[in-house]
Structure 1
Amino acid sequence: MVRSSDENNPLMDDSDLHDEPRKVDSKDSSDGERTDDKLQTSEVISVHSIVPEYRLYKRRFLGTFALVVLNVVSGMTWPWFGPISNDMVAEFGVTLDEVNWLGNVMACVYLPVALSVPEIIRRYGIRRCCDLAAACLLISAWVRYAGTVHSLSSRGAYGLLFLGQFFAALAQPVFQVLGPKYSETWFDLKGRTTATMILSIANPVGGALGQLLSPIVGDTRQSILILGIMSTVAAPFVFLISAAPPTPPTYSASKKTPGLLSLLRVMFNKGLPTDPPMSIRERMDFTIIFLVFGILASATNVFGILTGEILQPAGYSSDTAGFMGAVLLLSGIVTAIATAPLFDRVFTSHLAITTKFLVPVLAASWLSLIWAVKPDNTAGLYAICALIGITSVTMLPVSLELACEVTRNADGSSSLLWFACNGFAIIFILGKRALRAGPDASPPLNMRRALIFNGAVVMGISASIFFLRGRQTRKQVDQERQQRQSISLPARGQTTGP
């Protein structure tokens, strides 16, 4: 058996995804296009006398399960104090703004941490990255609980609660960002998108559970204790995660992790010979994916945060607003579970076409909220929320996988996409709250201008999806390598390990 590694196989150099020519003559557009075609062809067509063997291991499911548990629990922390904010004010003697900052600190810390995750993975591997995050999750649990001691002053208690949230903010982006990298490392072409889907929806599921559980498990101190217990139970699951399989499942999984700096260099046409190359068109494609993913994912997240503020002025109760948020999430989860295997096995080479169909539907749904948020339109709002959930959650794994395809940099592309999601979310929250009508408006404090802003931005950015080509180069190369293996090793095929 020959392993797929550059050091052991000098014949790999001329077709390696990281070593092809990367410059296109900007003076002649037709020459540039021909060069782009040659660049893509050279990635897919190559002949070697030595063919690596690829394998799948059953332990990949244990790691996936562990990452789901850690993603769910870390996702609970962000919205945990939202439903009990008024109780926190009464119990700890803090202001409502200070309670809100227990959630805001996670959004602020998320941005730099998300950008650092690819470098940690590149230097220390998936497992060590998860170890650091699990340790932070565990520390956050009991630092936060230490703030519930009755003998502490309100300032001291709030300081410990804030510090606990800070440590939790160090953990959450790690488990969320590394999803596509883990699926690339452990899964083959028939399971990669499904694995990415499972890992990408685990965090929002945790957020929904956090909003549901925090007010029903007891008073505020008991609620913080329960969150600490769940974090403590979840942290040891990190021992089920392995860094990488002994033999990779695909050619792309055999390559060294490039990291975020590599992707940024290539995006600005300053790539090194060791960086995965990108053509001009692929850089345009990733820019489109970055903007569309960031805007649409942040619109969904912000709607979950501001659902009550949007719907209550129109006459809907807080319970109804919560149910609509639940419908959005649940419809999306069910659809994503049903469709992800189809993208792995049926529509495996049609991710770009899928985005061109789903994104306009999703954008139109957001735009329709401008007129749908009105009294006595419960059925219409439920239908729109379901449609938003179906399209947006389905787009999560599709966008993440498509970004990996055009960049050949799973951890770097995932980091930038989630950075965009949370960065735009902060802008959306501040902008929409600034656009809220005053108490003298009709109805008072309505969010109609915020909905117009949301719809206009979403429609404007989503229009760029029609310029996306989205050639799945990574998949083409993996398929070519597997076909070569099946020809060279017909008797053995693809084996399955423990």
Structure 2
Amino acid sequence: MIEEEDSERTALLTDRNYRIVNLRQSDNGTMGTYKTYKRRWIILFVLFLTSLSNAMIWISYSPIADKAANFYNVSAKSINWFALIYMVICIPFGFCAAWLLDTRGLRITLLLAAYLNVLGSGLRVLASFLPKGEFSIAITGQGIAALAQPLAVFAPTKLSALWFSEHQRTRANTVASMANPAGALLGSLIAPVIVYNNDRHLIGYLNIGCLGLAAIPAILGTFTVCSSIPPSPPSASAAEPSQTFFRGLKMLKSNKPFWLLCLCFGSGLGTFTAVSALIEQILCPWGYNSLFAGICGALLIVFGLIGSAIIGQIVDRTRKFEEIVKIGFSFASIAFLAFVVVHHYTDIKVAVGACISLFGLFAVSLYPVCNELAVECTFPVAEGTSSGLLFIAGQVIGVVMLLVSQAMASASPVSTPYQQCEAVSQKYGVEPYDYTYALLFMAIILSLCTLSLVSFFRCTYRRLKAEEELAAENILQSAVHRN
């Protein structure tokens, strides 16, 4: 009898339609269902667009740093603050975002992120149509949009845990998490196309595009995201209450695998962020123009999206989180070292593009897997807390890498015949800088963290183990109840 119940339960757990994925014993002794709802895809779409538009606002000036410096009449290093401010704000506000997500819920967090995007991008539009292109107003708008980033970036693990079955969590997390690099891709591609010269109106058109994209999820979410949780949970772990935010922080203090993962993930995210923000300035002294820099930024993310689609499927089927993360980090480190070697040779676009593509394939695609691995390592700590701390670690290391990179960059002669950096302002020329030593610094940090991860990281999949134990308990309870 128990064997028959076990077989029946296995069939339910592996139901490919995912409509009813488990059974549980309710408090009153009756049998309830774990269900998924179609509306989860709408919420996922709203989160995807919110994160996408936020990332586009973040990266939109990086591929056109020289032209943005000319428009606002500031130095290129001042333009770097449009990217850097995201990381600076995320560090303190990230804790507030994690608390808000875990206490006020997914709906409030998601709508707040969407409207902060609209307000921030609206100020950038206002600044771009003032007579002198007010830098202070534009950077204020960028700061407001930066407040939305942790709200949107911390949400995927929460959404996947509350609305998706255990067989769909990684894929849902992948879709939501990859919205951020997809937005960076969109910004990297569109910005050089729209702002193709120093015409002052073009910056305004770019900012209007960012505002229009940000407005879509704000309007859609207002009318479609009506609750933070579904009427019935989709899995056993979703039915269990998470720890409170502050209790979760206390539980994490002694979780060594989680902090090692934070350090290693942070080095990868920090490297990606620094390279994305500085890509034009890294390549232009060596004869590569802003269009090619934008293409490289796009390749970095396109191959990351491809890798994410593949890895998400593999992880959902195999549950080999730890093994995949270790392999991915190893190949990402090798690819980045190759990019450091080839980037300062002139006229080898294929090699530069290939190296940056491989780095994206292995590094960017690990982002959602690391988020899921963090949740597995820390369960029952709330998903927003563990994934939020992971992202904050990446922002801290990203800030350090950006600042150190700018400090280590050495000036190159403006008269170098093959350089493509434009001196766009009489007051502040965009002087070419050699970032080779800065890239070596990033490569060393990434390699050391990868070695530590491969050698010392071991993780117990606590959430999966809890779900398996609860499933086994439910099988026995069901058998007893029927007898």
1:288 matched residue in structure 2: 260
Q: 1:227 aligns with which of 197, 210, 217?
A: 210
The residue identity in structure 2 corresponding to 1:357 is I
1:19 matched residue in structure 2: none
Q: Displacement of 1:401 after TM fit?
A: 0.4
- Number of residue pairs the alignment of both structures matches: 426
Greater shift, 321-330 or 244-253, is seen at 321-330
2:226 equivalent to 1:237: no
2:15 matched residue in structure 1: none
Q: Distance in 2 between matches of 1:317 and 1:356?
A: 35
Q: Displacement of 1:90 after TM fit?
A: 4.4
3-state SS of paired residue (1:54): strand
Q: Distance in 2 between matches of 1:159 and 1:394?
A: 35
2:429 equivalent to 1:429: no
- For residues 445 and 165 of structure 1, do their structure 2 counterparts lie closer, same or farther at Cα, with a shift above 3 Å needed? closer
Q: What are the equivalent positions in structure 2 for 1:16-415 lying under 5 Å apart? A: 53-150=33-130, 157-217=134-194, 219-239=202-222, 240-241=224-225, 242-269=227-254, 283-345=255-317, 347-348=318-319, 350-373=320-343, 374-408=345-379, 409=381, 410-415=383-388
3-state SS of paired residue (1:247): coil
Q: Distance in 1 between matches of 2:357 and 2:193?
A: 26
Q: Displacement of 1:98 after TM fit?
A: 4.2
2:192–2:290 CA contact under 8 A, matched in 1: no
1:179–1:199 CA contact under 8 A, matched in 2: yes
Q: Displacement of 1:70 after TM fit?
A: 1.0
2:333–2:447 CA contact under 8 A, matched in 1: yes
Q: Percent identity?
A: 24
Q: Displacement of 1:469 after TM fit?
A: 1.4
- For residues 68 and 486 of structure 1, do their structure 2 counterparts lie closer, same or farther at Cα, with a shift above 3 Å needed? farther
- For residues 62 and 486 of structure 1, do their structure 2 counterparts lie closer, same or farther at Cα, with a shift above 3 Å needed? farther
1:136–1:168 CA contact under 8 A, matched in 2: yes
The residue identity in structure 2 corresponding to 1:199 is A
Q: Distance in 2 between matches of 1:92 and 1:367?
A: 35
Q: Displacement of 1:259 after TM fit?
A: 4.7
The residue identity in structure 2 corresponding to 1:309 is Q
The residue identity in structure 1 corresponding to 2:236 is Y
1:121–1:257 CA contact under 8 A, matched in 2: no
2:65–2:280 CA contact under 8 A, matched in 1: no
Q: 2:435 aligns with which of 418, 423, 447?
A: 447
Q: Displacement of 1:78 after TM fit?
A: 0.9
3-state SS of paired residue (1:57): coil
2:459 matched residue in structure 1: 470
Q: Distance in 2 between matches of 1:159 and 1:440?
A: 31
Greater shift, 225-234 or 312-321, is seen at 312-321
Q: Distance in 1 between matches of 2:395 and 2:373?
A: 19
Partner deviation per Cα, 1:404-432 (whole Å, 9 max, x = no partner): 00101311111111101111111111112
- For residues 299 and 83 of structure 1, do their structure 2 counterparts lie closer, same or farther at Cα, with a shift above 3 Å needed? closer
Q: Displacement of 1:344 after TM fit?
A: 0.9
- For residues 259 and 428 of structure 1, do their structure 2 counterparts lie closer, same or farther at Cα, with a shift above 3 Å needed? farther
2:425 matched residue in structure 1: none
Q: Displacement of 1:372 after TM fit?
A: 2.7
Q: 1:480 aligns with which of 469, 474, 478?
A: 469
- For residues 195 and 453 of structure 1, do their structure 2 counterparts lie closer, same or farther at Cα, with a shift above 3 Å needed? same
CA-based RMSD = 2.7
- For residues 265 and 82 of structure 1, do their structure 2 counterparts lie closer, same or farther at Cα, with a shift above 3 Å needed? same
The residue identity in structure 1 corresponding to 2:306 is V
The residue identity in structure 1 corresponding to 2:135 is Y
- For residues 100 and 356 of structure 1, do their structure 2 counterparts lie closer, same or farther at Cα, with a shift above 3 Å needed? closer
List runs of 5+ in structure 2 lacking aligned partners.
1-26, 195-200, 420-431
Greater shift, 328-337 or 481-490, is seen at 481-490
Q: Displacement of 1:486 after TM fit?
A: 5.6
3-state SS of paired residue (2:458): coil
1:37 matched residue in structure 2: none
Q: Displacement of 1:89 after TM fit?
A: 4.5
Q: Displacement of 1:485 after TM fit?
A: 4.1
The residue identity in structure 1 corresponding to 2:258 is F
2:411 matched residue in structure 1: 438
Q: Distance in 1 between matches of 2:341 and 2:79?
A: 33
- For residues 149 and 451 of structure 1, do their structure 2 counterparts lie closer, same or farther at Cα, with a shift above 3 Å needed? closer
Q: Distance in 2 between matches of 1:127 and 1:467?
A: 38
- For residues 450 and 62 of structure 1, do their structure 2 counterparts lie closer, same or farther at Cα, with a shift above 3 Å needed? same
